[in-house]
Chain A
């Protein structure tokens, strides 16, 4: 399988959201929420953007406190051990605020649910940076993070945009098959990959890899649904049953 980045509809939604946040006025909200179920590509898409932009990237932990966050931020901002500032939380904040003022460097927080403990004290600290340093902050979380953040009125007011990731569409999966699969797949089989994967990109990649193995073993250059009829290409963990290719679904 070829390896490259596929620009899905979720990616387009994300870049559109970023464009809106980046073109905001000085006093407008600079935080963006990215949410969705696991496997929809949140982390990969945001990492792609962060690597293009040179953004600071932190992954929140279950035991994050404002102090823990400041220490982690200092480590990525001042990478050299002897440069890392020491001091009280307010001293750390002031030193890093001076460095980040002007909002040139965006900040990404993955697993942002962990910033909501203790009346969202850590997220309040992140908001301070976003407001005062005019930084763009991207928070990544699961579906319910929007509801959880909404409970904290002051923070919620600083969320300028919410991007909700959904399952990959049929055209996303077709595009992924075209870009990554080393054998040609018929349109019906692409639709089957979409059905079997449930729109989860990780699952779709595993299915494509399996199809390639079958094609190689059978010497096929182009694969259609009947070639794989009844073959299990995916596993449904909820029903604990393998999901098999069904030729009868052709022509839907």
Chain B
């Protein structure tokens, strides 16, 4: 079956399905070629034995940066739009179940601006907030640059570049 068909069958989004299939492939439970997936004999046997996959150490190969986090999804919207404000991102991405998404996004935007990814527009949004655009040359790829708030470091996994944000406060007063 194709990824989209499996995602549809299990009512999952495609990205979660891709990650799930990647995990099953690593364990040799599923074989994939050109986007088509098939259960292996090992996978069938595992199912027949009624066993369940348990979590365990993954040798430092964490997958968290691939998870569809708020920042990852915000990065995707930044790549789609010609310009955006924090309100735009909240209105497109946030449901009622995130802790403080506004603060999270403002920190992220401040870091991206400090690292040279974003530039502000001169005109503000209807609500009075700053609007930014992603600079063409800094649209580096699908993976959202990862912000380590404590270390004040931004890592772009598309290019491998790291940006030390130094003493830059991560909640600049003009970001609202």
- Give A residues with C-beta under 8 Å from B: 3-5, 19, 22-23, 26, 44, 47-48, 50-54, 57, 59, 76, 79-81, 101-104, 106, 134, 136, 179, 206, 209
Contact (A53, B92) CB under 8 Å given A23-B5, A79-B140, A102-B2: no
- Interface of B, helix, strand, loop or mixed by DSSP: helix
Task: Report the nearest A residue to B75, measured CB to CB.
Answer: A51
Q: How far is the CB of A181 from chain B (nearest CB, A)?
A: 14
Given contacts A5-B93, A104-B3, contact A80 B14 (CB under 8 A): no
Interchain CB contact under 8 A, B5 and A102: no
Shortest Cβ distance from A243 into chain B, in angstroms? 18
- Docked-complex contact A22 and B8, CB < 8 angstroms: yes
- The one of B15, B91, B93 that contacts A54, using a Cβ cutoff of 8 Å: B15
Question: Assuming A48-B93, A53-B15, A54-B76, is B159 touching A102 (CB within 8 A)?
Answer: no
Which residues in B have their C-beta under 8 angstroms from that of A26? 2
Neighbouring A residues of B102 by C-beta, 8 Å:
3
Partner of B91, one of A5, A101, A102: A5
* Cα of A37 to Cα of B28 in the assembled complex, Å: 49
In the complex, the answer to whether B139 meets A134 with C-beta atoms within 8 Å is no
Count B-side interface residues using an 8 Å CB cutoff.
42
Smallest CB separation, A202 vs chain B (Å): 9
A–B pairs, 19, beta carbons within 8 Å: A3-B91, A4-B94, A5-B94, A22-B5, A23-B4, A47-B92, A50-B76, A50-B80, A51-B76, A79-B139, A79-B142, A79-B158, A101-B34, A102-B35, A102-B36, A103-B3, A104-B35, A134-B2, A179-B96
Q: Which of B1-20 contact A (CB under 8 A)?
A: 2-5, 7-9, 13-15, 18
For the complex, what is the distance from the CA of A102 to the CA of B36, rounded to whole Å?
Answer: 7
Within 8 Å by CB of A5, from B9, B15, B81, B95, lies: B95
Q: Which residues of B contact A50 (CB under 8 A)?
A: 76, 80
CA distance A215 to B150 in the complex (A): 40
B residues sitting closer than 8 Å to A (CB atoms) are: 2-5, 7-9, 13-15, 18, 34-36, 68, 73-74, 76-77, 79-82, 86-87, 90-96, 102, 126-127, 137, 139-142, 158-159
A53: B residues at CB distance < 8 A: 13-15
State whether B158 touches A80 (Cβ < 8 A): yes
Q: Are B3 and A102 in contact (CB under 8 A)?
A: yes
Beta-carbon contact of A80 and B140 below 8 Å: yes
In the assembled complex, the Cα of A106 lies from the Cα of B87 at a distance in Å of 26
CB distance from B12 to the nearest CB of A (A): 11
**A209, B125: Cα distance in complex, Å:** 14
B79 neighbours in A (Cβ, 8 Å): 57, 76
- A50, A76, A104, A206: residue with the most chain B Cβ atoms closer than 10 Å: A104
Q: For the complex formed, measure the closest distance between the CB of B68 and the CB atoms of chain A, giving whole angstroms.
A: 6
Contacts A3-B102, A104-B3 given; 19 further ones with Cβ under 8 A?
A: A3-B86, A3-B87, A5-B91, A5-B94, A48-B92, A51-B76, A52-B73, A53-B13, A53-B14, A54-B14, A54-B76, A57-B76, A79-B139, A81-B137, A102-B35, A104-B14, A104-B18, A134-B2, A134-B35
